[in-house]
Amino acid sequence: MHQSIKNIAILGSTGSIGTQALAVIAANPDLFCVQVLTAQSNVELLIAQALTFKPKAVVIGDEAKYQELKEALKNLDIDVKAGQEALCEVVVMPQLNMVLTALVGSAGLKPTIAAIKAGKDIALANKETLVVAGELINSLAKKYHVKILPVDSEHSAIFQCLVGEESDIEKIYLTASGGPFRGKDFEFLANVTKNQALKHPNWVMGAKITIDSATLMNKGLEVIEAKWLFDLAVEQIDVIVHPQSIIHSIVQFQDGSMKAQMGVPDMKLPIQYAMAYPKRVQNNFKRFNFLEYPTLTFEPADIKTFRNLALAFEALNQAGNMPCILNAANEVVVAAFLNEEMGFLQMSEVIETCMAKLDFVQEPSLEDYFETDKQTRIFAKHLVTNI
Ligand code: NAD
Ligand code: MG
């Protein structure tokens, strides 16, 4: 029995994905065991999680909170660490089978690489890592024989549709809810507040991805994520707005046949699928009822108004370090918008300026990605300050 237990590290355990992953693990103690928990600053929740799940190691990103964490866990046999570098140390622990990357932003890149090099399968929620360095991550995953299992609901949907298929994909349709501002025009968007943007119609998620959903950058990042996960050309990826978020995405095969994966929106399902793959696990999540959704609707994405989605396609077409520039600029503007330092529409303007002005590198090395990320953040912050 014990051999079949999967030992998992959760990077970002206090977040939306992290806490839902812990709920899945708590419901399946015979399948999963948490060995590592990490958080950036929410030390209270990290302590509570550590006391409940008794992992082998915990990491707090904010070093100022290390003493509090250490003190609270002193009677347990837990390795307590702090700082960004510690993430790379804990993911290589020999007993680990899988690392769930549920942290936000390009901060996920280094620990993901460390985990792959240590041969750990990756349950990937941290889409920014694939956006920044998808090609490099893929080649490392191949070299070290690790699986990259998608947690993002759309990519999980496509992954599930591909099980058992040997034929080529003609194209995929990534579904998008359209976010809280679907159908709105520039005039409306010019004045929307952070609180309006934080109200997503179908999903409760972390602040960054919720803003990304409102600007459609989330779908843009997902297009790039899909390219690397499923080895697709840009032309093979289409976005279709489906406001009910019941169909999570669609694969169209070379004979024109289409497969869709559907269900009520609940991230615990894709999280559980990635963790238990190739098995499915019985659960008590809410089941879909057709009569509650007599109509499922579809419409094109408005990329003229929501320019971030067009910018993401543009970055993917240019390739090289351009998606890295797009991502870093986006991380800066989302943080600034959440700080009420800039307006909703100005976010796209800053990203576009960064894409035009930063040094383009056609075949970036890992060092180039770190440098691009750094330089873009400096420049984007400068642009934000001068708004
Ligand atoms: P969140 O903000 O709710 O949680 C983020 C977690 O990462 C927290 O535990 C936080 O402490 C930690 N963290 C934040 N910054 C960090 C840093 N610099 N270094 C180390 N740890 C850090 O975010 P979330 O909504 O759970 O999203 C996590 C990732 O999953 C993102 O990449 C997001 O795009 C992706 N994702 C989320 C959802 C969702 O439903 N929430 C769906 C699909 C994909
Ligand atoms: Mg998604």
DSSP string for residues in 354-372: HHHHSPP-SS--HHHHHHH
Residue 128 assigned as binding residue: yes
Q: Say if ligand 1 is within 6 A of residue 14 CB.
A: yes
What pLDDT is attached to residue 328?
Answer: 99
Alpha helix segments (H runs only) across 265-321: 268-276, 307-318
What pLDDT is attached to residue 3?
Answer: 52
Taking the C-alpha atoms of 357, 322, 122 and 206 in order, what is their torsion angle to the nearest 10 degrees?
Answer: 50
Amino acid present at 47? I
Q: Give the separation between CA 278 and CA 351, rounded to whole angstroms.
A: 39
Residue 339 assigned as binding residue: no
Q: Please work out, in degrees rounded to the nearest 5, the angle formed at the alpha carbon of residue 17 by the alpha carbons of 93 and 135.
A: 65
Q: Say if ligand 1 is within 6 A of residue 39 CB.
A: yes
Stretches in the chain below the pLDDT threshold 50: 1-2
ipTM over 0.90: yes
Cα 127 to ligand 1 centroid, rounded to whole Å:
10
pTM (predicted TM-score): 0.98
What pLDDT is attached to residue 378?
Answer: 98
Residue 126 assigned as binding residue: yes
Cα 256 to ligand 1 centroid, rounded to whole Å:
36
- Whether a cis peptide bond, with omega within 30° of 0, leads into 150 is no
Residue 213 assigned as binding residue: yes
In a 13 Å sphere around the CA of 235, the CA atoms on its Cβ side amount to 1
Cα 204 to ligand 2 centroid, rounded to whole Å:
12
Q: Give the separation between CA 66 and CA 50, rounded to whole angstroms.
A: 14
CATH number of 2-150: 3.40.50.720
What pLDDT is attached to residue 1?
Answer: 47
Q: Give the separation between CA 84 and CA 63, rounded to whole angstroms.
A: 9
End-to-end CA distance of the chain: 60
Ligand 1 atom with minimal separation from the 39 CA: 11
